[in-house]
Structure 1
Amino acid sequence: MQDHKKEARSQQIEDAAYEVLRDKGYGAASMLSIAKKAKCSNETMYRWYGDKVGLFRALVERNAQQAVTVLNDALDQNVEPLQTLRDLGPVLLSALLDEKAVALNRAAAADTTGELALALAQAGRGTVAPLIEDVIQRAVTTGAISGPADEATEVYLSLLIGDLQIRRVVARMPPLEDAAYQHRAARAVDGLKTLFPA
């Protein structure tokens, strides 16, 4: 199958997975039910994703991909680290707070096996947070802020995200506008500079 056709098919399968997830929850979201919704074979599902955990891990990875790209590009191109964090903030907030992320988090909260929560942690934060720490370590090394980088990373994420994820998941807060993402991103970097002065 050509790459662009496979990508389109993957997107169709993953969209179907979100639909089944919203309708049935993670426990009842079988590979077969998703295959039927996507109008593809069960064999294709298992060949491409391995199993249900692999499929949902792919959803998390796709959701985090833009943030990972921003971070990797900035590290490769030696972009000024605090500017990287300003640029990352809206991208990361969008990935964490959009309807797909909310559906995944709601399903993970209801999954008694804990396997979806583990996939979310590994493919989401487990992938993105180390890259953020690399950027922050570069900020420490260049003297833009002080360290330690691991502590500064936790503070940055707390300042940026706060309790927004929880409030979105429990339906207490509507989606934010882009301007709110920009404001929080700038405020998180300003807070980081205040708490870890150069």
Structure 2
Amino acid sequence: MTTPPDPAGETFTERQQAVLDTVLALMVEQGGDVTMTAVARRASCSKESLYKWFGDRDGLLTATVRWQASKVRAGNYDRTRLDILALRDSLIRFAANWLGVISSPTSVALNRFAISQAGTRGSNLGAIMLANGRFAIGERLKPLLDAGREAGLLDFDDTETAFRTFIGLVGRDVQIRVLLGDRLSLSPSEIERDAARATDQFLTLCGTEKTGPGRNQTNA
């Protein structure tokens, strides 16, 4: 099995991935805080191994966020030969991955816990979530947006603004609804449909004359 790299350029072994999945499962079950002892017991490993692999508890939480965020990736594309079909497909892949992650029970539990800890003195989880979640995901998509601009397919002044526009079109109100308890359930086909629709809306807003014909041919 291929191990996806985390945003820091490191890789998690299959055993470490299993431990991080255990952290996410415990958060879903318990609705919040987890201890190193509980993780070690559920994952059938020693606390010494946890400290060796991840450092302290913040290190474990950081790795957990990175592991969750690593599931959000754009499709494969050749930056030197990027055309509208490849750009559109890569944007759809990213959007579908992101929608699937943010609407999952594990992501909801992780975000709810981070929000609950945001105003707590001494808690670093909010900063961990921002640095290794939202900001890391942004840095993963921005090269594709820049490549689209370099290829003459996209027209925007600021990459960060373009990223926020795209994410806004993709996410709509999904994340806030699931965080507030709405039993919103998106099937794979619905996620794919919403990702394609958001991508086409983004291309309408930020695309160039090169973009329109390619998109129309794709949708024909």
* Deviation digits for residues 42-76 of structure 1 (CA, Å, limit 9, x no counterpart): 111100011111111212211122323x35x4366
| Structure 2 residue identity aligned to 1:49 | F
Is 1:74 the counterpart of 2:77? The answer is yes
Please point out which of 162, 169, 182 is paired with 2:179: 169
Is 1:123 the counterpart of 2:132? The answer is yes
1:75 and 1:124 map into 2 onto residues whose CA distance is 25
Residues 188 and 53 from structure 1, CA distance in 2 versus in 1: closer, same or farther, beyond 3 angstroms? same
Matches of residues 1-198 of structure 1 in structure 2 within 5 Å?
Answer: 7-21=13-27, 22-23=29-30, 25-26=32-33, 29-68=34-73, 70=74, 73-74=76-77, 79=82, 80-111=86-117, 112=120, 113-148=122-157, 149-198=159-208
Residues 62 and 75 from structure 1, CA distance in 2 versus in 1: closer, same or farther, beyond 3 angstroms? farther
| Structure 1 residue identity aligned to 2:102 | L
Shift of 1:117: 1.9
Residues 75 and 167 from structure 1, CA distance in 2 versus in 1: closer, same or farther, beyond 3 angstroms? farther
Shift of 1:121: 1.2
2:26 and 2:71 map into 1 onto residues whose CA distance is 24
Identity %, equivalent residues = 24
Is the 8 Å Cα contact of residues 17 and 67 (structure 2) preserved in structure 1? Answer: no
Shift of 1:131: 2.2
The root-mean-square deviation of aligned C-alpha atoms, in Å, is 2.3
Is the 8 Å Cα contact of residues 82 and 144 (structure 1) preserved in structure 2? Answer: no
SS of 1:66's partner is coil
Shift of 1:142: 1.4
| Structure 2 residue identity aligned to 1:161 | G
* Deviation digits for residues 58-98 of structure 1 (CA, Å, limit 9, x no counterpart): 12211122323x35x43668553232101221111112221
1:76 and 1:143 map into 2 onto residues whose CA distance is 12
Is the 8 Å Cα contact of residues 178 and 184 (structure 2) preserved in structure 1? Answer: yes
Greater per-residue helix proportion = 1
Q: TM-score, normalised by structure 1?
A: 0.84
Is the 8 Å Cα contact of residues 155 and 192 (structure 1) preserved in structure 2? Answer: yes
SS of 1:144's partner is coil
Is the 8 Å Cα contact of residues 108 and 114 (structure 1) preserved in structure 2? Answer: no
**Number of aligned positions between the proteins:** 190
Q: TM-score, normalised by structure 2?
A: 0.76
Is the 8 Å Cα contact of residues 115 and 126 (structure 2) preserved in structure 1? Answer: yes
1:101 and 1:93 map into 2 onto residues whose CA distance is 11
* Deviation digits for residues 101-150 of structure 1 (CA, Å, limit 9, x no counterpart): 11101111111244222111111122111221211111122121211232
159-168 vs 58-67, which deviates more?
58-67
33-42 vs 76-85, which deviates more?
76-85
Gaps of 5+ in 1: none
